[in-house]
Structures are given as structure tokens and as C-alpha cells.
Structure 1
Amino acid sequence: MLDRNISETLDHISIQVNRYFSIFIFLFGTTGNILNCLVLSRPSLRSNPCTFYFLISSIANIISITCGLTSRILSGWNMDLTSTNAFLCKFRAFIMLVSRSIAFWLIALATVDRWLLSSYRHQRRQYSSLKNAQQGTIAIIILSSFLYCQVLYCYDANMILAPLRCYGKTIICRLVTDLTYALVTILCPLLIMCIFGLMTISNIRRIHSNKSTQSKLLDINDNNKKTIKPKKQKRKRIDRYLRHVLFVQIIFLTILTIPQVIEKLYTTLTMNQRKSSLNVTIEEFIYNIVLLLTYLASGMPFYIYTLSGGNTFRNALTDLFKTK
């Protein structure tokens, strides 16, 4: 009797969370990412390769939130067609997983770009270019689509013994999809972000240690310095801002996505164990909560860019509203 009451309570909470918190994240995330796209497309920012990664990542986040959260919201009122329609189930899962993979990997590439730009070696800094950013983005889109093409076969509607009604139809399918998502889409990009983030900090410290020597070299020709100083200072200010917000974004991505990785790995490893109905309900409840946290992570970039890293983004946002 107690187990049934707990199960009913958790089911009720899950329904309410899907109904109302999903709507909040949807409005919060889509509005923020649309504003991101408008601001990052401005001439003062769009020529920067890191900004280009942020821009395409924001577009991918819009797609991920739209495809993923609409079904979450509708499921709160038992109106989710992806739960019963096989085609919609496969299409929605494929687009959502691919777009999320693209968004995460582009942030990882942005971290690599910051490392290249902060390098004391001129040859490495040359790799930080808009052309390379565009080529890297195309490669990520193609690889992400190829990575999740198995979803078009594996996913099916009307699944009963699964966290969602639209889920992998066999144990092997669930194993492949869950591990691909946890390891390739989440953990690998986060690992790259952390490694190259630390390497970027190391480069910055090295640059600061040689700052006195570099300033002496820059003072050789005062006339040339006066000519190039304003543009150079503006570029450095933008690079410093992008580096700062990138580090803040990595922290929030890690906090909000690691719980789902843990849940995915646990569910996969205990897939063949016999579980009580209460345990299944608890796992489904946890799945719903950590799933919404990942959508929250996809909706946060605009607010991170606005609230951290100085006035660069805020000034561009103000100019955008003035123009409109």
C-alpha cells in the first residue's frame, strides 16, 4: 500500500513538472537562444570564429528544445503523438539527439579555438579562423547525423518497459543509443572542454609572465602603435569576454548534464535486473527530472553571455534593440 502511494505521488509530480516546468524552460530557452542568434550575428561579433561556434550552437539548441520539449509538454496532458506514432517518434528522437550533439561539440570546438588563440606560437594562432570554424561546424553536423542514424531503426513508439513511450525497442538498441549519448554526446565534449580550458589558462599565465617583454617590443614604434591600438584593444576585449563566458558555460553544462549521464549509465547497466514497480517509478521520475535539466542547460547560454564577461554582449544587445 505504501509503495503504491509513493508511486502515485511520484507520477503526479512528474506530470506536473512536465506540464509547467517544461513550459518555463521552453519559453526561457527559445527566447534566449533567438536573442543569441540576433546578437551574435551582428557585424561586431560574427567575424570571430568562437562567436560563429556560439551562433550555430544556439541554433542547434533552438532545434533541440523545440523538438524535445514540445513532446514533454504535451505528455503532461496525454497529447504526445510521438508516444503512439512510430514515424514521429523516430524523427523527433533523431533531430533532438543530433542537434544536442552538434550544440555540445561546437562548444567543445570553441574551447579548442580559445586555446589556439591564446597560444604563444604564431602557427597555432593561425588555425583560429572563421574558415576553419565553418569547416569544423560542417564536419560536426555530418558526423552527428551519422552517429545517430541508428535511431531511425532503433526507436519505436508504444514502449511499455522503458523510461519513455518513445524509446529503443530492443536491449541492444537501448544499450547503443544510451552509451552513445552518454559517452560521445556528453562526456567526450565535456572532457575536451575541461582539458583545453585548463590548457588555455596555462597559456594565459605564460602570456602574462612574458607581458613586460612583449610590451617593450610593442613600444619600439609609437606611431604604428597608435594606429593599431584601438582595433587591437577591441579584438582583445572580445576575445577575453568570449573566453570568460566559455568557461562559465562549461561549468553550467557539466553541472546540468552529468546527472543524466549517470542516470543513463545506471539504467543501461541494470537493464537486465528484475525491479519492483516502485523502483521503476523512481527511475522514471529521476529520468524526467535530469532530462529537463539538460534542456535547461540548452536554454542558458544567452543568460550566461549577458550576465558574465563584461559589457561586450550587453552592448551588442543594446545596439540590437536600438536598431530594431
Structure 2
Amino acid sequence: MLSSNETIIEVLHHATIQFNRYLSIIIYLFGTVGNILNVIILSQKKFRSNSCAFIFLISSIASLIAILSGLTNRMIAGWTVDLTSTINWLCQLRAMVLFTSRTIVLWLITLATIDRWLLSCFNVRRQQMRTLKTAQQCTIIIIIFSILLNAPIIYCYEANLLETPVQCYGKTAACRIYTDIMYGCGSILIPSLFMTSFSIMIILNIRKTRRRIGIFNISTNHVRRQRQTKKRDRRLLIMLLVQVTFIVVLTFPQAIQKLYATITLDFNSSSKSILQIAIEDLIFNFVVLLTYLANGLPFYIYTLSGGNVFRNACWQLIRAFGQTITCQNN
């Protein structure tokens, strides 16, 4: 007969395996398809010259890389041996690519909120600061920063570890403290705070602009192209604000878990009970999957909140694909 604790541990262990085995597959499929569609749609001519759309495009590529590099091995581990857990260089390469791409995604969305904030400012000089060239330069800086921030992972991570949440993990206490703080603060907490702050400032700017328009009763006739540009900018802003909300909600739990792991790091791991380790492993795996969910949602967020601008581009893509297949069959 199993004791109550042993039964709970077995249930927790089984739940962890099922999360990694089945939830990973679901997120992998809709996340990969969604990000590929994002890349194709945002590469179209109508979005190509828009700085915010360019940032969305690069963040979708980084999200796709994060899903492919992170979830592939999790699905494999649910059914057979995961080579990234047993081969050192694969472990280090996978961790470096995964954490770097995640950092790029969150800082790019932060950059997008700054871009929309500049657009919402009444000050013309600030509006003129947001250009495609500036967005491209800032994107390069973010990529370099993300690589440098995560570079110590190559030294810190090692395969075949025991008494860690996963076998490919930080090999020493100092490494775990650094990587946990680096990722929890540098890749999640700080960009999330920036995103939230600039999103609030955008909303305040929009309200101020509306009040000024109401006071001065400004009435201007814009050409059709200007109206379409403003409509596209407005939809991109809505898409951004919704995405920021989901990113903060889905990534914050992992930041908290990382900081908790750092604070409660015990150099004598045997002091932890088997039940406590099982609970922490389940929480670790669940919050990690939430971050992959954040990487997989953008296309569906854009489709639902992007209005006709994004949906029309999506339908045009589908129709073009259908016509191509029809021509090939004929």
C-alpha cells in the first residue's frame, strides 16, 4: 500500500509527464503555424514600411525559433531519450538559442510599445523619431544585447545533471543564481515593467489628444492613403496592447518561479523532501509551458484584435495559396 504522500508524489510526477507530452504538442502545432503565417503576412508590402509591423515581424521569427528550440526536445522527452539532456554541446546550444530568442521577443515588444508611445505623443518631434530605420537599428541592438546577456549560459549549462528541474541546467549554485536572476529580471520583469508603463502612457496620450481635438474642434480632411495609414496604426496599437497583456500574464509566473528558486536555493539539496521537489518540478514545467504559449499566441491575437486590416491580409494570403494549388492541379 502506498502512503498518502507517495500517492500525491506519483500523481504530481504523472501530471508533469502529461503536461510535457501533450500540452507541448498542442502549443507546438498552433504556435509554429501561427508564427509562420505571421511572418508571411507581415512581410507583405502594405506592412513592410511600418516600423511597428517590422518589429512584430522580427518578434514572430524569434518566437518561432523559441518554440522550435524549446518545445521540440520537450515533446521528444515525453516519449524517448532527449539528446539535449545527455550531450553537453547540444544542451548548451539549445539553452543559448532558447533564452536568447525569448529575450529578443520580450524586448522587441517593449520596443513596439515605445514606438506606439512616440506615435501617440502630441509633440511632433517625438512622432518623427519613430522611423523604420530607427526600428531596424534598435532591433539590431536588442539582438546583440540578448546574445551578450545570455552568453554565460554556454559555460553554466551542463547535461546529465541530477536533482535539478531538468537534466540540462545550471551546473553550479552560482550559475543557477546568475541564470535565474538574468532571465527572471533581464528577460521578463524589466521588459514587462517597461511594456506596462509605456502602455499606460499611450492610453493617457490618446485621451489627451482626444480632449484637445474636442476643445479646438479641429476638422481636417485627410486623403484616403492617410486615413488607411491611421487606421492601420490604430489597429497595430490595439494588437500590441492585447499582446502586452497576454505576455505579462503568461511570462510573469516564470519570473516569480525563477526568483523563488534563487531565494530558496539550498546548497544541501537533500534537505528538501521528495514531495516538495515533485511540487516544484510540476510548477516549473507548467510555468515554462505558459511562456511557450505566449510565444504561440501572437497570430491569433492579431487576427482577433487586428480588425479588417490584419484579417484581410490573412484572407488574401489564403486565397493566393488556394489559387496556386488550383493552378498546379490544372
TM bucket (normalised to shorter chain) is over 0.9
List structure 1 runs of 4+ shifted beyond 2 angstroms.
Answer: 212-218
SS at match of 1:216: coil
Q: Which residue of 2 is the match for residue 60 of structure 1?
A: 62
1:154 pairs with one of 151, 156, 161: 156
Among 296, 299, 303, which residue is 2:296 paired with? 299
**SS of 1:210's equivalent?**
helix
Superposition pairs of residues 79-118 of structure 1, within 5 angstroms: 79-118=81-120
Equivalent in 167, 170, 179 of residue 168 of structure 1: 170
Report deviation, 1:245.
1.0
Deviations 1:238-267 (A, max 9, x none): 110011111111111111111111111111
Cα distance in 2 between the residues matched to 1:125 and 1:58: 25
1:41-63 residue CA offsets vs partner (Å, 9 max, x unmatched): 11111211000110000000000
CA drift of 1:117 comes to 0.6
**Aligned pair partner of 1:231 in 216, 225, 231:** 225
> CA distance change for structure 1 residues 111 and 268 in 2, over 3 Å: closer, same or farther?
same
Give the Cα–Cα distance (whole angstroms) in 2 for the partners of residues 106 and 19 of structure 1. Answer: 30
Question: Gapped runs of 5+ residues in structure 2?
Answer: 322-330
Question: Which runs of 5 or more residues in structure 1 are unaligned?
Answer: 219-224
Match of 2:180 in 1: 178
Identify the residue that residue 324 of structure 2 maps to in structure 1. Answer: none
| Counterpart among 229, 246, 254 of residue 260 in structure 1 | 254
Q: What is the letter of the counterpart of residue 106 of structure 1?
A: L
Aligned length: 316
Give the stretch that moved more between structures: 258-267 or 80-89.
Answer: 258-267
The structural deviation recorded for 1:213 is 5.9
Partner of 2:33: 31
Three-state SS of the structure 2 residue aligned to 1:77 is: coil
Q: Measure, in 2, the Cα distance between the counterparts of 1:32 and 1:133.
A: 23
The normalised TM-score by structure 2 is 0.93
Looking at structure 2, the residues matched to 181 and 214 of structure 1 have their Cα atoms a distance apart, in angstroms, of: 48
Aligned residue type for 2:235: Y
Measured in 2, the distance between the counterparts of 1:95 and 1:131 equals 26
Counterpart for residue 7 of structure 1? 9
- Measured in 2, the distance between the counterparts of 1:119 and 1:215 equals 19
How far residue 212 of structure 1 moved from its aligned partner, in angstroms, is 3.9
Cα separation, 2, equivalents of 1:214 and 1:88? 63
Question: Which residue is 1:285 aligned to?
Answer: 282
Identity level (%) = 50
Q: CA RMSD in A?
A: 1.2
Measure, in 1, the Cα distance between the counterparts of 2:84 and 2:155.
15
